[in-house]
Amino acid sequence: MNLSSLPDDLAPQCLPQHIAVIMDGNGRWANHRGLPRIAGHRQGAKVLKDLLRCCKDWGIGALTAYAFSTENWQRPAAEVDFLMVLFEKMLRKELKKMHAEGVRIRFVGDLSGLSPALQQEMSRAMTETAHNQTIDFNVAINYGSRSEIVQACQQVAQKVSRGEMTADAISEETITQHLYTAGCDPDLLIRTSGEQRLSNFLLWQLAYTEMYFTDAFWPDFDRSELHRALLTYQGRDRRFGQATDRVAVGHRIVKPALTA
Ligand code: FPP
């Protein structure tokens, strides 16, 4: 099957508009080939690049990738260093092309914990691509969902203590607007390598997201794997907690208003 454009068996009006990925299994992929773990990360970065292009080609509006968690600092220093250099190199090498293709890049996480050189590349990438509209590419780096929620609560509490809002006025929308991701909930989460957990990723944002778990290692997650994930997604019935007959199935999936 030619996968450069949307496969015929996928309905364009039912595609997820936002896909999030937990890119797991790089180390095991490398081990199975007798390669060092970093070879898995290098291949994983290539796969991410192609997946972004594929999402763009198939009309998916946003891709969010979990590149480095706040817990990942506990890995061997050589692996952490390799990943940091990989992020920086990829940015330097790919920014021009991504910009030309209309990609809007955003980094989410505690960016202040990263090296000044990397912070500078990231901020340049975000500024240069800020007005692009073809696809949003969010990269979670030094990201932890619980600490994201804590910092959102702190910001809201500060607004209350300054008298800019009342405690009663705090709503779900208020918290959403203070998260790093500020209001772009994924429709589909994909986690590779057979693990079935969220690992502190987008805990608030995934409240109504469809989950897809596959045994494939991330470096093997190509267009045909995405095709399989999307076929599964299109077979799901998203109810957002309501009765089946209240939600249109087979149409663009829209969260219904939560009326009584
Ligand atoms: C998890 O697999 C993977 C990571 C912690 C790193 C993910 C990063 C990339 C794929 C590079 C992305 C590049 C850019 C530019 C954003 P693992 O190492 O935990 O695999 P294992 O469970 O098999 O050991």
Separation of 257 CA from ligand 1 center, angstroms? Answer: 37
Q: How far is CA 242 from the centre of its chain?
A: 26
Give the total number of structural domains in the chain. 1
What predicted TM-score, i.e. pTM, was given to this entire model? 0.92
SS3 210: strand
Domain of residue 238, residue span:
14-144+184-254
CB of 139 closer than 8 Å to CB of 65: yes
| Residue 1 in domain | no
The catalytically annotated residue of 31, 72, 132, 200 is: 72
Q: pLDDT per position in the chain (260 positions), as tens?
A: 778 899 999 999 999 999 999 999 999 999 999 999 999 999 999 999 999 999 999 999 999 999 999 999 999 999 999 999 999 999 999 999 999 999 999 999 999 999 999 999 999 999 999 999 999 999 999 999 999 999 999 999 999 999 999 999 999 999 999 999 866 899 999 999 999 999 999 999 999 999 999 999 999 999 999 999 999 999 998 777 777 654 544 444 444 444 33
Ligand 1 atom 13 nearest Cα:
45
52 occurs within a structural domain: yes
On whether residue 3 sits in a domain, the answer given is: no
- As separate numbers, helices (DSSP H) first and strands (DSSP E) second, the chain gives 7, 6
Has residue 175 been placed in a domain? no
User: Is 24 a residue of the active site?
Assistant: yes
Q: Is residue 213 part of a domain?
A: yes
Residue 38 counted as domain residue: yes
Is the CB of residue 109 less than 8 Å from the CB of residue 143? yes
Q: Tell whether 178 is covered by a domain.
A: no
At 119, which CATH number? 3.40.1180.10
Give the contacts of 144 (CB within 8 A, at least 6 positions apart).
69, 70, 71, 109, 110, 200
